[in-house]
C-alpha cells in the first residue's frame, strides 16, 4: 500500500487538481487561517502540548524571577541559592521566548505520492505544513522546515514573518510536486538524526508523514527530540488504508504496474492487520514520549484537522 498511486479527485471544497502543489493555493491559506482563528501554538502547558508539561528547561526560555515555592511547582526549578540565603523554599520562574522556532518536517518519499480519493498525501502534507506555518507566523514565531525523502534532505532555518512562510511554500512547491517522481525511499531516522544536530531546544517540531518503515532508530530520535522540544506527529492516510474494499484494483509504483485482488478474504484480512499495525505503532511511539498525535485523511480539510488536533473545541 505504500506504492504511489496517482489519481484525480473532485471535491468542490478544495481548489487545485489534488496532484500538484500550487504556490497560490498555499498562500491563500493565510486568509483561511485568520478567518478560522486557529489557536496560537504556544509552548509549555499549551493546548498543543496536551496534558504533558514541556520538560525543556534551558535555551529558549528566559529566567524571570524567583518566588516562594508553592505546592505543585516543579521541584526541578528550585532556586537553591535563594532558598539557602532566605531559609524559605524558592522556585525559579521562566518566561518563554517570544519568537519560538517552529519546524515542519515533511516527507516526500515515493509512498507519499499516493491517493485514491481527495488529494495526494504530498499535497495534504504541504497544506498542513503551510497552515501551521501561517498560524505560527501570526503569533510571532519563526518558521523553518525539513523536506526529506526520495534522495533529498533540504533544511530551512527558522525565519520570522510572512517571509519565513513564503520561503517554506517555495520549497514545498519545488520538492513535493510529482515531476519528477522520486524513486528511492529514505528513512525518517536519518533526517531526524540530522535535525537533532541543528535544532534549537524549545522548538515546536511537526513531523508530517505516512510513517511507513518506522524502526528503533526513529524511536530513539523521537525520544531525544521530545525531551527538549514540543513534538507533534501527523500521519497521512488514504481512505483505502482505513477500509479496504473488495475488488480488483490497478496499482503502480510509477514504473511497473500490476493489480491487487482484494476479493480474497485471506488477502484482505492480511492487509487489514498490516494497516492496523501501521496506524497503531507510530501513534504509540509518539504518545509514549509525551508527543501530540494526529491522523489525517487525504479527503480532510487541513484547517479543520488542525483545529481538531489542537483541541480547540474542548480547550478553547
pLDDT in tens, 143-166: 999 999 999 999 999 999 999 999
Grid coordinates given for 220: 530513539
Q: Max CA-CA distance within the chain?
A: 77
- Going from the C-alpha of 282 to that of each of 136, 162, 209, 278, 293, the distances in angstroms are 25, 32, 10, 7, 9
DSSP string, 134-177: HHHHHHT-EEEEEEEETTEEEEEEEEEHHHHHHHHHHHHHHHSS
DSSP string, 230-276: EEEEEEEE-HHHHS--SSEEEEE-SS-EEEEETTSHHHHHHHHHHHH
Q: Could you tell me where the DSSP H helices lie in the chain?
A: 23-36, 80-86, 121-139, 161-175, 188-198, 216-228, 239-242, 265-288, 302-310, 312-315
Above 60 in pLDDT, residue 53? Answer: no
Q: Tell me the pLDDT of the chain averaged across its residues.
A: 84
pLDDT-wise least confident of 65-69, 82-86, 146-150, 235-239: 65-69
Q: Which domains does the chain have, with CATH numbers?
A: 23-46+98-315 (3.40.50.410), 61-96 (no CATH)
- Across the range 76-81, mean pLDDT stands at 92
Q: What is the pLDDT of residues 251-292, one digit of tens each?
A: 776 678 888 888 888 888 888 888 999 999 999 999 999 999
Residue 76 zone, left/alpha/beta (φ > 0; ψ -120 to 50; rest): alpha
Among positive and negative, which fits the CA dihedral 298, 33, 49, 145?
A: positive
Grid coordinates given for 132: 501551521
Entry pTM: 0.78
pLDDT at position 96 is 56
pLDDT at position 314 is 34
Residue 40 — very low, low, confident or very high, per pLDDT cuts 50/70/90? low
pLDDT-wise least confident of 103-112, 142-151, 235-244, 261-270: 261-270
Question: φ, ψ for residue 249 (rounded to 5)?
Answer: -125, 130
Above 60 in pLDDT, residue 137? Answer: yes
Q: What is the pLDDT of residues 3-15, one digit of tens each?
A: 443 333 334 344 6
pLDDT at position 6 is 37
Above 50 in pLDDT, residue 231? Answer: yes
Q: Give the chain's radius of gyration (CA, Å).
A: 21
Between CA 144 and CA 50 the distance in angstroms is 22
pLDDT at position 50 is 39
Amino acid at each position: 500500500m505504500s506504492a504511489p498511486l496517482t489519481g484525480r479527485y473532485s471535491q468542490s471544497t478544495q481548489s487545485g487538481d489534488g496532484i500538484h502543489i500550487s504556490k497560490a493555493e498555499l498562500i491563500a491559506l493565510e486568509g483561511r487561517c485568520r478567518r478560522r482563528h486557529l489557536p496560537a501554538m504556544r509552548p509549555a502547558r499549551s493546548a498543543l502540548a496536551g496534558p504533558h508539561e514541556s520538560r525543556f528547561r534551558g535555551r529558549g526560555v528566559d529566567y524571570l524571577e524567583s518566588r516562594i515555592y508553592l505546592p505543585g511547582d516543579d521541584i526541578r526549578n528550585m532556586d537553591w541559592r535563594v532558598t539557602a540565603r532566605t531559609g524559605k523554599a524558592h522556585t525559579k520562574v521562566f518566561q518563554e521566548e517570544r519568537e519560538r522556532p517552529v519546524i515542519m518536517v515533511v516527507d516526500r518519499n515515493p509512498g507519499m505520492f499516493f491517493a485514491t480519493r481527495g488529494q495526494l498525501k504530498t499535497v495534504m502534507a504541504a497544506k498542513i505544513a503551510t497552515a501551521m506555518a501561517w498560524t505560527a507566523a501570526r503569533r510571532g514565531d519563526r518558521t523553518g522546515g525539513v523536506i526529506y525523502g526520495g534522495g533529498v534532505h533540504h533544511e530551512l532555518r527558522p525565519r520570522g514573518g510572512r517571509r519565513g512562510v513564503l520561503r517554506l511554500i517555495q520549497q514545498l512547491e519545488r520538492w513535493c510536486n510529482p515531476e519528477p517522481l522520486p524513486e528511492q525511499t529514505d528513512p525518517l531516522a536519518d533526517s531526524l538524526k540530522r535535525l537533532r544536530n541543528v535544532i534549537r531546544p524549545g522548538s515546536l517540531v511537526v513531523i508530517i508523514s505516512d510513517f511507513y518503515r518506522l524502526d528503533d532508530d526513529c524511536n530513539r530520535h523521537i525520544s531525544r527530540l521530545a525531551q527538549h522540544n514540543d513534538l507533534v506527529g501527523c500521519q497521512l492516510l488514504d481512505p483505502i488504508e482505513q477500509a479496504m474494499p473488495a475488488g480488483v484494483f490497478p496499482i503502480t509504483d510509477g514504473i511497473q504496474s500490476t493489480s491487487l485482488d482484494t476479493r480474497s478474504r485471506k488477502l484482505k484480512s492480511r492487509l487489514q492487520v498490516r494497516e492496523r499495525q501501521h496506524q497503531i505503532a507510530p501513534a504509540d511511539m509518539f504518545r509514549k514520549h509525551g508527543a501530540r498525535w494526529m491522523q489525517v485523511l487525504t479527503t480532510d480539510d487541513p484547517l479543520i484537522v488542525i483545529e481538531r488536533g489542537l483541541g480547540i473545541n474542548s480547550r478553547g
